[in-house]
Amino acid sequence: MVDCLGLVLAVAVTAASVQDRDAAVPLLQRLRGLYFSIRLVWADGGYAGRMVDWAAENLHLALENVRRTDDTTGFVALSRRWVVERTLSWLMRSRRLVRDYETLPDMHEAMVLWSMTMLMSGRLAGRRPGAFSRPAPQAR
């Protein structure tokens, strides 16, 4: 779960056998517990139906689906969905996340949060966005 700037708010790592809709319930509950002021969540079209009603009734969250239109062909950047994809590409610059080294889901969640912490601290230090390596030396 990321915010409008692409910064990670909450992470849930599950086994591949867990459906995304099933994993969304504890993730949304975690999000509500951490950030009580969030009122709107944009989600993929797979989270439609009962998930929208459940989020509204139990968590007081408006779950709005971002869908691709049927008449669209080729690549089209969808509003709000590209923010998540951009964040995933930033995180994949961290070598530890490129491979599945972790055996525990909690450890992988920690590595995602650590990678995002490195990204944010690099931005605060003045490095270019998305860079995990040291900045190039200045010419003298």
In a domain, 113, yes or no: yes
pTM score: 0.74
In a domain, 14, yes or no: no
In a domain, 33, yes or no: yes
* pLDDT of 55: 93
Which tokens go with 36? 């009580």
Inside any domain, residue 92: yes
Q: Is residue 82 part of a domain?
A: yes
Q: What are the counts of helices (DSSP H) followed by strands (DSSP E) for the chain? A: 5, 2
Is 62 within a domain?
A: yes
Asked whether residue 13 is domain-assigned, the answer is no
Structural domains counted in the chain = 1
Q: Which structural domain, as residue segments, surrounds residue 32? A: 20-68+75-124
Q: What would the pLDDT profile of 98-118 be if each residue is shown by its tens digit? A: 777 778 888 889 999 999 998
Residue 115 buriedness (CB in 10 A; 0-12 / 13-18 / 19+): buried
For tokens 């491979």, the residue is 99
Q: Tens of pLDDT along 75-95?
A: 666 677 778 888 888 888 887
